[in-house]
Amino acid sequence: MNPRLPAEWEIQDGVLLAWPHEATDWADMLDEVRPVFAEIIRQTTRFERVLLTTPHAASTSEYLASAGVDLDRLTICEIPSNDTWARDFGPITVIFNDRPVLLDFGFNGWGLKFAANHDNQISKRLKEQGALKPNLNTIGLIFEGGSIESDGLGTILTTAECLLSPNRNPQLSRGEIEQAMGSLIGARRVLWLNHGWLAGDDTDSHIDTLARICPDNTIVYQACENSIDEHYQELKLMEAELKAFRAPDGSPYKLVALPGPRPALTATPTACRPPTPTSW
């Protein structure tokens, strides 16, 4: 039996998160971001368990308790991390023989852009601490959770910009990557987007910032209707690609366009000329 990568909306046991701390990109705004993370954890634990990594378990537990988090629904593991993007460095769950199996792919800081020496070890350390119950299989490929979308039935949506990045798996061709996805996550077919870009994106166009598969052969995607916007051309080309894709039954996907947010610009000294806003 082939493995199956569940869809995003399927039932899950819990959520893996990483706590923001002084050694992460959040260092200069911890007082602002920690209440946000605490509220995410508080709301998530109303419905399912949260597995949280932090380099300081005692102080993190105390902070979350004071924020009203139900600690009985939270497992805290004291593990160092470089950053907080657990979706990308955490294990990917596939279903094999009706049982969950965790795949520990390599993580190299989104194509060697950032330090990842701690993040790349988190799945292994969680297993060593007994926090992960299913089998954990180490896979010798660089692969991030945010780079793939699954319909749960064998269709994988991804971007060429990310998976074919020369700083991830340069030894593999597109066909070889498809073959690896077939054997490891049960991909029966792969839909490649060759366009799609967002300013400031360090992930090389992760699919989870551009287009998401939803139930009933539906795809929601980032749109842009302003012809003077810097994203306009790439997102229009991506939209055309999505319109050309076909669902497993041969029908066009139902496409739902999402408007982009207006830019949030920080205050600029009066002696400086502010940047021209990008409007959506």
Query: What is the tens place of the pLDDT at every residue in 209-255?
Result: 999 999 999 999 999 999 999 999 999 999 999 999 999 999 999 99
Nearest to 124 by CA among 136, 112, 114: 136
Q: Decide the pairing of beta strands 92-96 and 99-106.
A: antiparallel
Q: Distance (Å, rounded) from C-alpha 141 to C-alpha 128?
A: 21
Q: Has residue 278 got a pLDDT over 80?
A: no
Q: Has residue 269 got a pLDDT over 70?
A: no
Q: Has residue 197 got a pLDDT over 70?
A: yes
Q: Three-state DSSP class for 261?
A: coil
pTM above 0.85, yes or no: yes
At 86, give phi and psi (nearest 5°): -65, -30
Contact in structure between 64 and 72 (CB atoms under 8 Å) = no
DSSP string covering 104-156: EEE--HHHHTS--TTGGGHHHHHHHTT---SEEEEEEEE--GGG-EE-SSSEE
For residues 19-31, average pLDDT: 97
For 85-130, what is each residue's pLDDT tens digit? 999 999 999 999 999 999 999 999 999 999 999 999 999 999 999 9
Q: Give me the pLDDT at residue 267, please.
A: 62
- Residue 252 gets which letter from DSSP? B
Q: Which residue has the higher pLDDT, 192 or 263?
A: 192
H or E stretch including 228?
none
Q: Give me the pLDDT at residue 276, please.
A: 42
Residue 152, token pair as written in the block? 């749960």
pLDDT band (50, 70, 90) for residue 2? confident
- Beta carbons within 8 Å of 273's beta carbon, 6+ residues apart: none
Q: Give me the pLDDT at residue 272, please.
A: 40
The neighbour count for residue 131, using CB atoms within 10 Å, is: 18
- Beta carbons within 8 Å of 219's beta carbon, 6+ residues apart: 157, 211, 212, 213, 242, 245, 253, 254, 255, 256
For 32-64, what is each residue's pLDDT tens digit? 999 999 999 999 999 999 999 999 999 999 999
Nearest to 164 by CA among 182, 186, 142, 183: 142
Nearest to 123 by CA among 148, 153, 144, 147: 144
